[in-house]
């Protein structure tokens, strides 16, 4: 399991290509591993509607490939 817990803001900015090239490359490496997201991030990410259905498809694939972490004290803090 990777060492990063990815937040929905990172996901939405990444798929909207709002980060610098250096940051996009860094996040790409994390995403190429099996990413970790919380169940709340899963819900938030899947509620994102994008007019570009291809990006929406990538997001759904990203979520399905992720480790979904249920809420526990370690995730909350």
Local confidence pLDDT in tens for the 77 residues of the chain:
568 999 999 998 998 899 999 999 999 999 888 899 999 999 998 887 777 788 888 888 999 999 999 987 876 77
d(CA 61, CA 23) in angstroms, rounded, equals 21
Q: Which pLDDT score, from 0 to 100, does residue 75 have?
A: 65
- Residue 67, token pair as written in the block: 């480790």
Q: Which pLDDT score, from 0 to 100, does residue 43 have?
A: 93
Region of residue 62 (left: phi > 0; alpha: psi -120 to 50; beta: else): alpha
The structure's pTM equals 0.80
Q: Which pLDDT score, from 0 to 100, does residue 1 have?
A: 53
Q: Which pLDDT score, from 0 to 100, does residue 15 have?
A: 85
């Amino acid at each position: 399991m990777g060492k990063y817990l990815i937040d929905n803001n990172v996901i939405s900015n990444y798929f909207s290509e709002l980060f610098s090239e250096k940051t996009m490359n860094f996040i790409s490496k994390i995403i190429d591993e099996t990413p970790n997201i919380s169940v709340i991030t899963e819900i938030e990410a899947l509620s994102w509607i994008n007019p570009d259905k291809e990006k929406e498809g990538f997001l759904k694939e990203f979520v399905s490939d992720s480790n979904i972490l249920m809420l526990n004290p370690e995730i909350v803090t």
